[in-house]
């Protein structure tokens, strides 16, 4: 008799938990918005072309990102940016934010970069660089 009541209570608890899991599906959307001055530069994140600035991309993992930005007439910019998780995306809060919380959470990181105009190289300077590189190639020096 007790075991039937126990099974009935357990079944109800399981059904309630399944219903809650289906109803309360939290969502955390992680994005990085990258802007450059001037706009229109090509953006690479971890050696993958992700678009032209301004652009917004989604990401899954926190940590270090390698950024490369190119635009004709401007110096190529290569740098790193650290993306740190918000408090609700750390254990044990992440379970509630990603599974239980019924709402939508947005974790958006904003990065802005100022590009420097490329300096024109004189013909003599270019010829000198070519000579030095040719000599290094012949002698095997680096």
Q: Which helix (H) or strand (E) holds 16?
A: helix 2-23
- How many angstroms separate the CA atoms of 60 and 112, rounded? 21
Which pTM value belongs to this model?
0.65
* Domain edges within the chain: 26-133
CA nearest 24: which of 128, 123, 101?
101
CA nearest 49: which of 30, 74, 67, 29?
67
Q: Spell out the CATH class of 26-133.
A: mainly beta
The DSSP 8-state label assigned to residue 47 in this structure reads: T
- Per-residue pLDDT 10s for the chain (142 aa) are 557 777 777 788 877 777 666 665 657 788 999 999 999 999 999 999 999 999 999 998 889 999 999 999 999 999 999 999 887 767 777 666 666 666 777 889 999 999 999 988 888 888 998 999 999 888 876 5
CB 111 within 8 A of CB 33: yes
Sheet with 77-83, side-by-side order of all strands: 48-52, 42-45, 63-70, 77-83
CB 109 within 8 A of CB 31: yes
Would strands 104-114 and 27-37 be described as parallel, antiparallel, or unpaired?
A: parallel
Report residue 30: phi and psi, to 5°. Answer: -110, 125
pLDDT of residue 44: 98
pLDDT of residue 78: 97
């Amino acid at each position: 008799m007790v075991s039937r009541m126990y099974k009935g209570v357990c079944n109800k608890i399981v059904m309630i938990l399944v219903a809650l899991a289906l109803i309360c599906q939290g969502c955390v959307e992680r994005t990085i918005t990258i802007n450059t001055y001037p706009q229109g530069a090509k953006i690479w994140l971890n050696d993958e072309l992700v678009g032209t600035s301004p652009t917004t991309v989604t990401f899954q993992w926190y940590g270090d990102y390698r950024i490369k930005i190119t635009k004709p007439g401007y110096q190529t910019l290569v740098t790193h940016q650290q993306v740190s998780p918000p408090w609700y995306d750390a254990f044990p809060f992440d379970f509630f934010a990603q599974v239980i919380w019924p709402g939508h959470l947005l974790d958006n990181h904003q990065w802005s970069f100022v590009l420097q105009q490329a300096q024109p190289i004189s013909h003599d300077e270019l010829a000198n660089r070519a000579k030095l590189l040719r000599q290094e190639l012949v002698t095997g020096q680096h």
